[in-house]
Amino acid sequence: MPRSYLVLLAVSAAACTVASDDRVVTTPNSPPDTTITTSTDGEPTTTAPAPPVDTTATTLQSSVPDPADIELVSFPVPSGSRPHDVAPGTNGEVWYAAQGAAALGRLDPATGETRHTDLGSGSRPHGVIVDATGVPWITDSGLNSIVSVDPITEAVTVYPLPDDHPDANLNTATFDGGGDLWFTGQRGIYGRLDPATGDIEVFDAPEGRGPYGITTTPEGAVYYASLAGSFVGAITEDGTTTVLEPPSPDQGARRVWSDSQGQIWVSEWNTGNLSRYTPDTGTWATWHMPGDGPQAYAVYVDDRDLVWVSDFGSNSIVRFDPTTETFDAFPLPHDPGEVRQILGRSGEVWAPESAADNLVLIRARQS
C-alpha cells in the first residue's frame, strides 16, 4: 500500500527496431535482487540487471515517424562544459547546464554559436528548465541553491536553501500547476520555491537519500523519482509524499516524465526497464529495454506521446512506441555520449552528451 510522508554536423541514425515481449504490471513478482555499487557522490556505478515481470499492458495512440526519416544533428559546445541537462527556450535558443564550467550555456541552433553565463564561484549546475516567460531556472548543487538567469541582461539571482539543509546535492526541478517550482536533492530532500516571494520550503524525503528526476502532469500534479529509494513519490498539496513502488524491487527509479494522459513514465537504472504508472487505476506496466545490459538513465515523453530513453548500456537514445510496444535505438554521435537528461519541443528532441561536450537534436530528416 502507498505510504505518506511529510517531511551542425548531421549524423545518420542507424536505428534498430525491437519488439518488446517483456511487459508488466499491477502485482510484482519477486525477481532476484539487484546488486548496486555506489560511488562517493551517490551515483550507482555497477549493476546486475534484474529480469522483468511478464503480463499485459494497455497502450496509447501515437503517430510515429519511420526510423529512416529521423536524423541526429550534433552541436559542439565549449570544451570542458560537460553539459548535464538541456532545455529548449521560448525564442528558439537551447539552454544547458554547463556543469564543468560553472555556467549556464545558451546555444543558437541556427548558427551553432554558444554563450556562457558565469553562475559564480563554486557553482555546479545540474538541471535547467525554462518558465513560461522564457527565464531559465537552474538547480545548482555547488551553490546549494536554485538560480535564475535573466535571458536578456544575464543577471543571476540566487535562492539559497535554508542553512539547516546544507549540501543537498540538488538535481532537477519542475513547475507545478500553480507556478511554484519543485526540486529534488539526492541527499534526501525535495522542496518548493515560490518565485514571486523567493520563499523556499524543504521536506525530508521518505527513506532518506535518493530524490532525483521530477515531473509535472498536465493537471499540475508533481511526481519525483528516488534513485536510492527505488520508488516514485507523488507529492500532495500539503507537501507530503505518497510512495509508489514499481513492480521490480531495487529498480533504481532515476527519472520520471508525464505523458499527455497524466501517466508517469519511469527510467529504471538498475534493471534496464522502462515503466509506466497510471494514477487513475493505480497500475504499473513495465518493458525491458533492448540489448545486452541496458541502463535506462533519462526519460522524456514528446508531443506524440512517444517515449525517449537514454541507454548507457548501448550508448544510444531509444524511442518507445506504447501503441506497438516496440523500441527503436538511435546510436549517439560520440562514444561515450552519456546522455543524462532529455527534453524537447514540438518536432524536436534535445539531449546533452555530457561526456563529449555536445548537444544532440533528434528530428525528422531535413530535405
Question: Quick check: 56 pLDDT over 70?
Answer: no
Res. 19 pLDDT band, cuts 50 70 90: low
User: Over pLDDT 70: what percentage of the chain?
Assistant: 83
User: Over pLDDT 90: what percentage of the chain?
Assistant: 80
CA distance 141 to 137: 13
Q: Please give the full DSSP string across 130-199, using - where no structure is assigned.
A: E-TTS-EEEEETTTTEEEEE-TTT--EEEEEPPTTS----EEEEEE-TTSPEEEEETTTEEEEE-TTT--
In this predicted structure, what is the pLDDT of residue 157? 98
In the structure grid, which three cell numbers stand for residue 277, read together? Answer: 504508472
Owner of C-alpha cell 546488486: 35
Each residue of 305-351: pLDDT tens digit?
Answer: 999 999 999 999 999 999 999 999 999 999 999 999 999 999 999 99
In this predicted structure, what is the pLDDT of residue 116? 98
Instruction: Please choose, from the candidates 194, 193, 151, 199, the residue with its C-alpha nearest in 3D space to the C-alpha of residue 170.
Output: 193
Question: Under CATH, which number does the domain 3-364 receive?
Answer: 2.130.10.10
Task: Give yes or no for a contact between 277 and 286, defined as CB atoms under 8 angstroms apart.
Answer: no
Average pLDDT over residues 185-204: 98
Helix, strand, or coil here: 105?
Answer: strand
CA distance 202 to 328: 40
Which residue type, as a one-letter code, is found at position 351? A
* pTM given for the model: 0.85
Each residue of 257-305: pLDDT tens digit?
Answer: 999 999 999 999 999 999 999 999 999 999 999 999 999 999 999 999 9
In this predicted structure, what is the pLDDT of residue 18? 55
Average pLDDT over residues 247-257: 98
Res. 107 pLDDT band, cuts 50 70 90: very high
Average pLDDT over residues 38-42: 38
In this predicted structure, what is the pLDDT of residue 169? 98
In this predicted structure, what is the pLDDT of residue 33? 34
Q: Is 309 or 47 the better-scoring residue by pLDDT?
A: 309
Average pLDDT over residues 93-114: 98
Task: Give yes or no for a contact between 64 and 321, defined as CB atoms under 8 angstroms apart.
Answer: yes
Q: Is 64 or 55 the better-scoring residue by pLDDT?
A: 64
